[in-house]
Amino acid sequence: MVVTYYSTLFILSMILLIFYVCIWQKNFDITFTMFFTLVPISCLGYLLYIEADSTYVAFWGLRFIYIGGIFLQYFITLSIFNLCEVRLRKIIKVFVFCISVLLYVTVLLIGTNNLYYKNVELIQKDGYFVLEKEYGIVHTLFYVYLITLFIVGIIVIIYSFIKQSQVSRITLYLLIVPDGMAVFSYIVMKKIIEEVEFIPLGYVLAEVIYLIIAYRTCLYDIDNAVATSLTQTGSTGYISFDFKKNYLGSNEKAKEILPFLDELTVDNGLDINNKKQKKLIHWLDSFIEDNYNNTFTYVFHINDKLDEKTDRIYNVNVNFLYDSVRKRGYIITLTDDTANRKYINLLDSYNEKLQNEVSEKTQHIIDMHNNLILSLATMVESRDNSTGGHIRRTSIGVKLITDEIMKDNELGLSDEFCKNIIKAAPMHDLGKIAVDDAILRKPGKFTDEEFEKMKCHAAEGAKVIHQILEKTDNEAFKVIAENVAHYHHERVDGSGYPEGLKGDEIPIEARIMAIADVYDALVSKRVYKDSMSFEQADSIIMDGMGTQFDDRLRKYYVKARPKLEEYYSSQIEG
């Protein structure tokens, strides 16, 4: 009956070992593997021991038994530290292992000294041969060793319950069983029932618990779970190299993306002269030179032809290949990003289309706004005693002068600034809407009183423009338009109106407007005067440089003069 008990436990331990091998994964803790390997050996020792008919066979049974008795508790304790995510220094692991080895050496020497057993005698008891033993000092140390490892394991489990919120509570509960099983069976149950040993039964039960823990560990090991999931889905390719850029291997997806990988030989380097392999060399060299330069794009063409419908776009990422915490080489991952890229392109296309439509509508509103202002300016001009076309001609004059300014741009004016001046030019006389018709349309010279009223049109024009453009988003244009209307009659010597500003106190836009405005007044016919010749007008403008006009604008006016004369000549001929 006793032989059947030990035989059954040995068979069960072997079945559990085989089952463990079947479910084994590379991320399983090494302590699991050692545990499942040592338990059958220990169970075999109990079977040999109970069937021994000589001291020699009994001693060998003991040697097998103590492989489990000494080393299993060591590996159980290590597994507790690992599963509880409590770091144990390597030097401590080595030290405790050395103690385990020394204890086992004394077991191997049983019968040759009295360190473990002071006296050993083979006797027959209940039909079986057993060793009558008198324990030595090392056996007492073995008890201390077992109890110490057990207590340390329990402390680590309790610590994890309190401090380690990321450790599975189910795993912690399960760990209590194998940690206490061996000690409980060896020390407690042995004193209660002497007929059979409960230690191998405890080992087998601990195997069952470890199978459950091993199975659940796969779920909690997120790094491995994610890596395995990504590999199994087949959407990501992996290529690995050592630090010498020797090819180590790749998965099927990588070979599908880069078919030439089948031509590579494991442990051989890449061929720099091979056009297909150059891209791999480029990716690796870029990462080696700068670890932050590790992201690339690869487009896979079906049949080597460009076809947006069938092309696949892959994100390429290069990083270090790790073995546990050690860097062992490089790994290249290729992730299909086609759908995401097409979605982004679709969004970009839609956004561009939407932006174009908004710009079109906005431009339409701006054009309507500008036409409204221009119509208002034209309406005001129709009340004046000019021959008409003044606002159009002055706008051209301003453009011709600003064109010359932009050629050397010593004044530092931006393109947008110059466009706004040209756009604001037609609005410079809007203030005349507030001037009485009797004054505005008077065919002769104004009296002093009439001239004072006429001068009010500059300030009134600024007010009108401020009200019209009050809600505009283009604040820069609003300011320029107000300044052009308000200050185009100012003179650099301070004798102008309405503020009597001098020099740079007058905004540059108003100084440019003044030249175009006066030039048009001189060369255009009015009801109260004939037009001047270009020579006469030019003489007056040049004489006014430094007094009426900004002398810094002289050279731009001079350069623009031929085009001004050409333009006005075409107007006269027309």
Q: Cα–Cα distance between 188 and 146 in angstroms, integer?
A: 13
Q: Would you say 13 and 207 are in contact if contact means Cβ atoms under 8 Å apart?
A: yes
Identify the DSSP state of 71: I
Classified by CATH at the fold level, domain 234-336 comes out as Beta-Lactamase (3.30.450)
Q: Would you say 462 and 489 are in contact if contact means Cβ atoms under 8 Å apart?
A: no
Q: Cα–Cα distance between 29 and 13 in angstroms, integer?
A: 19
In this structure, the strands spanning 236-242 and 247-250 are: antiparallel
* Backbone angle region of 111, left / alpha / beta, with phi > 0 → left and psi within -120 to 50 → alpha: left
Instruction: Convert the pLDDT of each residue in 283-337 to its tens digit.
Output: 999 999 988 888 888 877 655 444 455 577 888 999 998 865 678 889 998 888 7
Q: Cα–Cα distance between 434 and 439 in angstroms, integer?
A: 11
Helix residue ranges per DSSP H, 383-474 = 390-408, 415-424, 437-440, 448-468
Task: Provide the angle, in degrees to the nearest 10, between the axes of the packed helices 390-408 and 338-382.
Answer: 130
Task: Extract the residue ranges of the chain whose pLDDT is less than 50.
Answer: 222, 304-307, 387, 574
What residue spans define the domains of the chain? 2-222, 234-336, 358-573
CATH number for the region 2-222 comes to 1.20.1070
Alpha-carbon 10 to chain mean position? 55
pLDDT at 306: 44
Classified by CATH at the fold level, domain 358-573 comes out as Hypothetical protein af1432 (1.10.3210)
A 10 A CB-CB count for 309 gives 5
Task: Provide the angle, in degrees to the nearest 10, between the axes of the packed helices 475-487 and 448-468.
Answer: 180
Instruction: Convert the pLDDT of each residue in 475-505 to its tens digit.
Output: 888 899 889 889 999 999 999 989 999 999 9
